[in-house]
A and B are shown apart, each in its own frame.
Chain A
Amino acid sequence: MGAGGAERSWTARLRRRAVAALPPEKLLPDRQPAYVASWIYVFGVLSLSSLAVIIASGCILALKGPGWWHFTGVGHFFNSVHLWGVELFFFFMVVHLWGKYWMAAWRGGRARVWVTGAVVFLVAIPCALTGYVSQQNFDSQWISTQAKDAMNAAGIGAFFNLLNFGQMYSYHVLLLPGAVVALVIAHILLVRRHGVVPPFERSRVLAREPSRGSGQRWR
């Protein structure tokens, strides 16, 4: 393949588009605008840290199985780490969502950042709930028999059979976590591309005097 052909190959075109959309200094920045020096900007990365703990503890639970997580001390410990990781994930994600809602984080062409974040939240809920029915104990049996009535009442019981353990476990350990991780990756890449949303005051200054954009303070 000649030089021209190589330039037209799909890999070269994809690389050019990826680098144009996210140059390395934007993808892995070494500084942030000074306005991110607030605790309210910390909850996104706290949510990510919780997600990492959930995935790591979940992988260990999947490797060892229910006999281990129900009947050994170390199994109980990792079962609890997984549960409390989820509790903290939702706690931090809700505070992150409140913070971004009140600063209208969809401003400045960031609609897709907001939408991917909101969809992560919505997908994470069934991801967590299918965990309750994957415990393999009386608690999960009781929850699944109650929840299947809710699915039937909503008219979607034919698609989601909560008494089918294999289906629920597959949703919990593969399909829904995969969707959450994929959406989180998209969310982070979009944040990198568009930058952290500035406070309202800063947006007004930039709209009035775009030249002051070069006077941005960084940390």
Chain B
Amino acid sequence: MDLGSVLATVVAMPMAAIFDLNHHASYVHWHFIDVSVSNVLVVVAMVVVFVAAILAPFPHGHDREDG
């Protein structure tokens, strides 16, 4: 087994245990909007990361001031 196969197996096995992809994708239908659940999850993740980026404290170094 080459390095790539080992890497693919190591990464894929736990992911396959969490996500069962052996079925058709689920979709959200709302009026003219037709979007897959996985894409909805990505959009929600982007909103969560955006809000966290604004609210989460940033580690502070040493400030300098010109004046």
Q: How far is the CA of A40 from the CA of B52 in the complex (A)?
A: 9
Q: Judge if A215 is at the interface, Cβ distance under 8 Å.
A: yes
Distance to closest chain B CB from A152 (angstroms)? 21
Which of A78, A98, A99 neighbours the largest number of chain B CB atoms within 10 Å of its CB?
A: A98
Q: Is there contact, CB below 8 Å, between B64 and A37?
A: no
Q: Is there contact, CB below 8 Å, between A39 and B56?
A: yes
Give the dominant DSSP class at A's interface.
helix
Partner of A217, one of B6, B52, B63: B63
Q: Is there contact, CB below 8 Å, between A39 and B2?
A: no
Q: Is there contact, CB below 8 Å, between B2 and A218?
A: no
Q: Mark B1-40, 1 if CB is under 8 A from A, else 0.
A: 1111111100000000000000000000000000000000
Given contacts A37-B58, A40-B53, A40-B54, contact A73 B5 (CB under 8 A): yes
Chain B residues with CB under 8 Å of A216's CB are 65-66
Q: How far is the CA of A98 from the CA of B7 in the complex (A)?
A: 35
Task: Report the count of interface residues on A (CB-CB < 8 A).
Answer: 27
Task: Report the count of interface residues on B (CB-CB < 8 A).
Answer: 26
Q: Is there contact, CB below 8 Å, between B63 and A219?
A: yes
Q: How far is the CA of A138 from the CA of B31 in the complex (A)?
A: 31
Chain A residues with CB under 8 Å of B7's CB are 73, 77
Q: How far is the CA of A218 from the CA of B63 in the complex (A)?
A: 6
Nearest-CB residue, chain B, relative to A37:
B58
Question: Which residues of A in the span 170-219 have a Cβ within 8 Å of any Cβ on B?
Answer: 214-219
Q: Judge if A42 is at the interface, Cβ distance under 8 Å.
A: yes
Given contacts A74-B3, A77-B4, A91-B46, contact A42 B64 (CB under 8 A): no
Q: Mark B46-67, 1 if CB is under 8 A from A, else 0.
A: 1001101110101011111111
Q: How far is the CA of A94 from the CA of B44 in the complex (A)?
A: 12
Chain A residues with CB under 8 Å of B5's CB are 73
Distance to closest chain B CB from A65 (angstroms)? 15
Partner of B53, one of A39, A74, A75, A215: A39
Nearest-CB residue, chain B, relative to A81:
B7
Q: Judge if A34 is at the interface, Cβ distance under 8 Å.
A: yes
Q: Is there contact, CB below 8 Å, between B63 and A95?
A: no
Q: Is there contact, CB below 8 Å, between A219 and B8?
A: no
Distance to closest chain B CB from A200 (angstroms)? 14
Q: Is there contact, CB below 8 Å, between A73 and B64?
A: no
Nearest-CB residue, chain A, relative to B42:
A91
Q: How far is the CA of A215 from the CA of B46 in the complex (A)?
A: 36
Q: How far is the CA of A219 from the CA of B52 in the complex (A)?
A: 22
The list of the 6 closest CB pairs from A to B, nearest first, reads: A73-B4, A74-B4, A73-B5, A39-B53, A77-B4, A40-B53
Interface of B toward A, CB cutoff 8 Å: 1-8, 42, 45-46, 49-50, 52-54, 56, 58, 60-67
